[in-house]
């Protein structure tokens, strides 16, 4: 069956994290790739069941730190050697040992800011609207005591009837269609 336009996916509700993780692993083995788990607290097994293993935040942090180091050294060189040169006690204008502490501080500042903003950007935050907010069971239990697995309609494996039957075989409390 073709997916109706305006459908985000199918949302299965579970009472225990183990049932959700089992359904997630089975969905991964069945060929589903576009899916997400929603839990009221972190469930490590869900991340491994979703096969989440790439993280670009450390790379963004490294790039931010290198940018801070470079910016600091270039700024200090420009100020002390070009824009406002001072001949103090015959020292050279480019006195790099004096630049180390400010460069270290700028490195830490830029790395921390790029880690924080990079994490927010990669997570897609802030996100004031998500289609799952339309599902009444998601609104009532997602932050309290329910566990959800959403198989998205853009997955090539997704077929509304087959996917619903697939999710119902795991004895989900409910399986609902989520509108966009």
State pLDDT tens for residues 94-126: 888 889 999 999 999 999 999 999 999 998 888
Residue 20 · residue 39 · CB < 8 Å: yes
CATH topology of domain 7-54+132-179: Alpha-Beta Plaits (3.30.70)
pLDDT greater than 70 at residue 133: yes
Q: CB–CB of 150/38 below 8 Å?
A: yes
Looking at residue 137, what is its pLDDT?
87
pLDDT at 3: 58
Answer whether 142's CB lies under 8 Å from 153's CB. no
**What confidence category does residue 77 fall into, taking pLDDT thresholds of 50, 70 and 90?**
very high
Element (H, E) at 116: helix 100-122
88 pLDDT exceeds 90?
A: no
> Domain boundaries in the chain?
7-54+132-179, 57-122
* Tokens representing residue 146 in the block: 């329910």
pLDDT digits over 8-54, tens only?
999 999 999 999 999 999 999 999 999 999 999 999 999 889 988 78
Contact 20, 147 (CB under 8 A): yes
**Is the model's pLDDT at 1 over the cut of 60?**
no
Spatial separation of the C-alpha atoms in residues 46 and 149, rounded to whole Å: 10
What pLDDT is stored for residue 175 in this prediction?
A: 94
């Amino acid at each position: 069956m073709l997916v109706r336009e305006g459908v985000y996916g199918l949302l299965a509700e579970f009472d225990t994290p183990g049932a959700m993780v089992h359904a997630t692993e089975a969905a991964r083995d069945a060929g589903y790739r576009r899916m997400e788990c929603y839990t009221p607290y972190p469930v490590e097994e869900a991340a491994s069941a979703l096969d989440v293993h790439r993280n670009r935040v450390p790379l963004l942090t490294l790039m931010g730190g290198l940018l801070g180091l470079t910016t600091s050294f270039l700024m200090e060189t420009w100020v002390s050697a070009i824009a406002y040169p001072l001949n103090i006690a015959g020292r050279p204008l480019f006195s790099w040992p004096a630049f180390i502490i400010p460069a270290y501080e700028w490195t830490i500042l830029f790395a921390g800011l790029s880690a924080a903003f990079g994490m927010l950007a990669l997570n897609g935050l802030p996100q004031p609207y998500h289609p799952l907010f339309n599902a009444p069971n998601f609104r009532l239990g997602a932050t309290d005591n329910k566990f959800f697995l959403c198989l998205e309609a853009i997955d090539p494996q997704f077929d509304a009837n087959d996917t619903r039957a697939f999710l119902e075989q795991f004895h989900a409390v409910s399986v609902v269609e989520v509108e966009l």
